[in-house]
Structure 1
Amino acid sequence: MSDDWTADDVPAMDGEVVIVTGANSGIGYEAARVFADRGATVVMACRSVDRGERAAGEIRADVPDADLDVRECDLGDLSAVTDFANVFTDDYDELRVLCNNAGVMAIPRSETADGFETQFGVNHLGHFALTGHLLDALADTPGESRVVTQSSGVHERGTIDFEDLQHEKSYDKWAAYAQSKLANVLFGYELDDRLGEHGVDGVTSVVCHPGYADTNLQIRTGEASGSTLRLWAMKAANYVFAQPAEMGALPMLFAATSEEVIGGEYVGPVGLFDMRGHPGFQRSSEESYDQAVAERLWDVSEDLTGVAYDFG
């Protein structure tokens, strides 16, 4: 693999359909822009259609021929996730890449429309349900389709607390975030394993993380804390330490398009402390490879979301 893989290495994607959740800002925005520049039809799945349309306008200013389809998808509401998937499959026959990118980070405890702790509900359960609803579209696409799930290096601090998944007994915003990001990795690996076990050869699942990238995610975390000092500390850290969002999007773009990906990998920046630089293959935390934890989390996720995967 080249040590300097960039967005220029993303192949032509004319006629391909790609979904990017959270495409209105940060890494999702940058990935959507590159996919559109390569000729893909990009479905921008956003909680706010207004913000999505503004982002689409900015992309079109840079990529005049961009084929963008902004659609509402609130990952914190399972009925909205179902509606998004149903309308998508009514309008599109194929899906080449599903980028499970949207997320929230280290916010005060709140709950989704379905009563789940928000970070676990949005970051993991919403994407779990979305992928299950779209599995047929992925499998029916000729050639190879991919599911790319965005995690974080913070997953290494996470553990899956099956006795208090929703953090109702005690809540630490960073522990909850780490759990949700570990769930992303476990889900991505287990999905690839189950696809292989059931002979769904045309779909692969890959996990990635952006390193430390300068996005609005940190700013929203600072704002949600209610502390002006923390907000400015986040802004200062972004300015001093973070790499641009364009670089942070490279692992997801690599995971979505590189011919070196075969499924079940973990992709991230291979530079300083695995937080900066060009994308490459890495090893995730030890718990992320625990098969028993992955299988139990899968069963719990099906029960909580009501989405049972049909690999047939």
Structure 2
Amino acid sequence: MTWSADDIPDLSGRRAVITGVTGGLGLHTALGLARKGAELVVTARDETKASAVVDRIRRDVPRVRIDVVALDLADLADAKRAAAEVAGTYDRIDVLVNNAGIMIPPRSETKDGFELQIGTNHLGHFAWTAGLWPVLDASDARVVTVSSMAHTSVGGIDLTSLTPAGSPRRYRRWQSYAESKLANLLFAVELDRRAKAAGSGVVSVAAHPGYAATNLTKTGPSVRGVSLPGVGIHQVSKIIGQPASHGAWPLLMAATDPSLTGGEYVGPGSLGGMRGRPKLVGMSRAARDESLADDLWAASEAATGVELKV
């Protein structure tokens, strides 16, 4: 049976928290959930862009209840602050979508000195999710972590990139991006494994958008602007990929399909996983490596100074 947005159940009275709504995937995930009645809490780094997105969502769903929380995942102190703000404001989170990310920038560092991609895509979300955990656990929440097909291009993660000294290897932007996306997938699977072992009702699922044309493909290569390589990648994405609205389908399925029990990976079902209706998809051997997941978890706690006790 082919999944469609019509399969999303009524979400009236449910609260969804989504990171990174100023990009295409986050916006269309928020729209998909709001159209079914969900209350939204969305995060953004840029206040002006966040205001524009809120206006866009309200034009489509006038009665939506939506709050904005400032969040910079490249700053661990800010990730912890934002999580504490959300946990202190809301007594329930039914769905958490960890969507925000950065893609193939020049060599850059987070405020805490970590390589920007692993620091933002993984460590920022790790600290953020840890801060939300008491509410997530009490709510039997669904946690969706967004990964990428790129995770299959690497066989492991250089864990020295999560240390204060950093990795001694030469920076290769695609390799670092792929490792950050492998980290996302390892985290999603390990979180579900630990939640089940602890008897928690939290369900952790991963998703990827396939080859979707989003703002990330245009601005990622220059970090916070537009570059010629980024424009080129974005144009190719528009030709052979799918629109961001379709790229959000796997995220929406992962966030709402009641048949998912945790540990699954959802992605497009056509053209080698690049586009199409979402379905359950496979992941690499490295993503299923429990030893690597355990090592990554320990390294992430050390790097962030946060214990995620599930």
TM-score computed with the length of structure 2 as normaliser = 0.95
Shift of residue 164, structure 1, vs aligned partner: 4.4
Alignment match, 1:276:
275
Aligned pair 1:160/2:132, yes or no?
A: no
Which of 118, 122, 125 aligns to 2:123? It is 125
Q: Does 1:80 align with 2:78?
A: yes
% identity of equivalent residues: 42
Moved more, 221-230 or 97-106: 221-230
Code of the aligned partner of 2:159 = F
Q: Which amino acid aligns with 1:300?
A: A
Give the match for residue 266 of structure 2.
267
Instruction: Check whether the contact 2:39–2:65 (CA below 8 A) recurs between aligned residues.
Output: yes
In structure 2, what is the equivalent of residue 198 of structure 1?
Answer: 198
Q: What is the CA distance between 1:131 and its match in structure 2? A: 1.0
The answer to whether the Cα contact below 8 Å between 2:214 and 2:234 also exists between their aligned partners in 1 is no
Distance 1:85 1:100, change over 3 A: same
Question: 2: CA distance between counterparts of 1:270 and 1:228?
Answer: 31
2:21 & 2:226 partners in 1: Cα distance? Answer: 27
Alignment of 1:177-192 (within 5 A): 177-192=177-192
> Alpha-carbon deviation of 1:224?
4.9
For residues 205 and 34 of structure 1, the distance between their equivalents in structure 2, rounded to whole angstroms, comes to: 19
Alpha carbons 1:24, 1:44 under 8 Å: kept: no
Equivalent residue, structure 1, for 2:18:
20
The answer for the alignment partner of 1:146 in structure 2 is 142
Residues in 1 aligned to 2:161 and 2:138: alpha-carbon distance in whole angstroms: 38
The SS at the match of 1:107 is coil
Cα separation, 1, equivalents of 2:260 and 2:118: 27
Shift of 1:214: 1.1
- CA distances 1:155-203 after superposition (whole Å, capped 9, x unpaired): 1012201244544431000000000000001111111001111111x10
C-alpha distance 307-225 of structure 1, shift in aligned 2 (>3 A): closer
* Residue 222 (structure 1) shift: 4.4
Task: Give, in whole Å, the separation in 2 of the partners of 1:306 and 1:22.
Answer: 23
Deviates more, 1:225-234 or 1:250-259: 225-234
1:191-231 C-alpha deviation (Å, 9 max, x unpaired): 1001111111x101111100011100100134459996524
How far, CA to CA, are the matches of 1:177 and 1:219 in structure 2? Answer: 15
CA distance in 2, matches of 1:70, 1:197: 34
For structure 1, list consecutive stretches of 5 or more residues without a partner in the other structure. Answer: none
The residue number in structure 1 matching 2:234 is: 235
- Are the equivalent residues in 2 in contact too, given 1:31–1:249 (CA < 8 A)? yes
Quote the Cα distance in structure 1 between the aligned partners of 2:77 and 2:224: 29
Change (3 A) 1:227 1:97: closer
SS of alignment partner, residue 37 of structure 2:
coil
1:53 aligns with 2:75: no
Contact 2:15 2:95 in 1 (8 A): yes
- Corresponding residue number in structure 2 for 1:43: 41
Q: In the aligned structure 2, how far is the partner of 1:222 from the partner of 1:298?
A: 28
| Runs (5+) with no aligned partner, structure 2 | none
Q: 1:297 to 1:57 in 2, by over 3 A?
A: same
Comparing 178-187 and 85-94, the one that deviates more = 85-94
Matched residue type, 1:160: I
Report the number of matched residues.
Answer: 306
Residues 225 and 121 from structure 1, CA distance in 2 versus in 1: closer, same or farther, beyond 3 angstroms?
closer
Kept after mapping to 2: 8 A contact 1:205/1:264: yes
- In the TM superposition, what is the alpha-carbon distance from 1:235 to its structure 2 partner? 3.0
The 1:111–1:274 alpha-carbon spacing in structure 2 relative to 1, beyond 3 Å, is: same
Taking a change above 3 Å as real, the CA distance of residues 15 and 227 of structure 1, as seen in their structure-2 partners, is closer
CA contact (8 A) 1:25 1:55 kept: no
- Partner SS for 1:69: strand
2:65 maps to which residue?
67
Q: TM-score, normalised by structure 1?
A: 0.94
- For 2:64 and 2:224, how far apart are their aligned partners in 1? 37
State whether residues 103 and 220 of structure 2, in contact with CA within 8 Å, keep that contact through their aligned partners in structure 1.
Answer: yes
Q: Which moved more, 1:228-237 or 1:151-160?
A: 228-237
